[in-house]
Amino acid sequence: MFRFVHKDRLRIEESCPSRNPVLHVCWKVETAPKIRVFLWKALKGALAVHDRLRSRGLKVTDGCLFCDEEIETINHILFLCPFARQVWALSNIPSPILGYGNSEFQNLHYLLSLKSCEATCFESNSAFPWTLWHIWKNRNSLLFNGFHLPSHLLIQKAWDDTKDWYLAHSLDLKQEKSSSLVESIWQPPWKNELKCNIGFSWCKKLSLSGASWVVRDSYGNVLFHS
């Protein structure tokens, strides 16, 4: 009966991508954990914009702080506000062919799909999480502190944060690799002395454990093991 009464609504919803895969992908975006949480909240409509506050019974009459829009929504702040449009236009992140639409889900789905597009550059498919994050922070700065960054400085800050995160992340990976290499190199004992190395492992799922030991001389010859 529901499908019979709401045929037009269901046709529109079924023509759109499913929300669940997109929500799953947002947790795998290469960015800071706090920004992953922010993306998830944007997709779930959990950001405290005026439209959402009204739905919770709070009387908010300010509207958008950047323009004359009476109802401030998540999609308006992040994509459709003239300030947000200027940010996206000045960035090197390609916009949809027909521009950003009236659904934050569709717009975020487009940005998340940039990662799999070979035609986009590193800045395009990597900087958009920080761009969205700084648009949101800029809105909060204007709301709570009374000032905000101009669009060109916001883009520069977003790109700087992107580069800093990837640089720190690559250094962490290099340190992990180097430390694992150091640990894997066996150091011989002093001459005429012996060294005993012990190894152990366990599997909680199978309730199995094991241990071993090996004794070697200063030339690396194995004398005893078990």
State how far the Cα of 38 lies from the Cα of 169, in Å rounded to an integer.
20
Instruction: Indicate whether 184 pLDDT > 70.
Output: no
The rounded percent of the chain whose pLDDT value lies above 70 is 86
Tokens representing 85? Answer: 């449009």
Better-predicted residue by pLDDT, 199 or 117: 199
Residue pLDDT, tens place only, 160-174:
999 888 888 876 656
Q: Which residues, 6 or more positions from 47, have their beta carbon under 8 angstroms from its beta carbon?
A: 38, 41, 74, 136
State how far the Cα of 93 lies from the Cα of 155, in Å rounded to an integer.
11
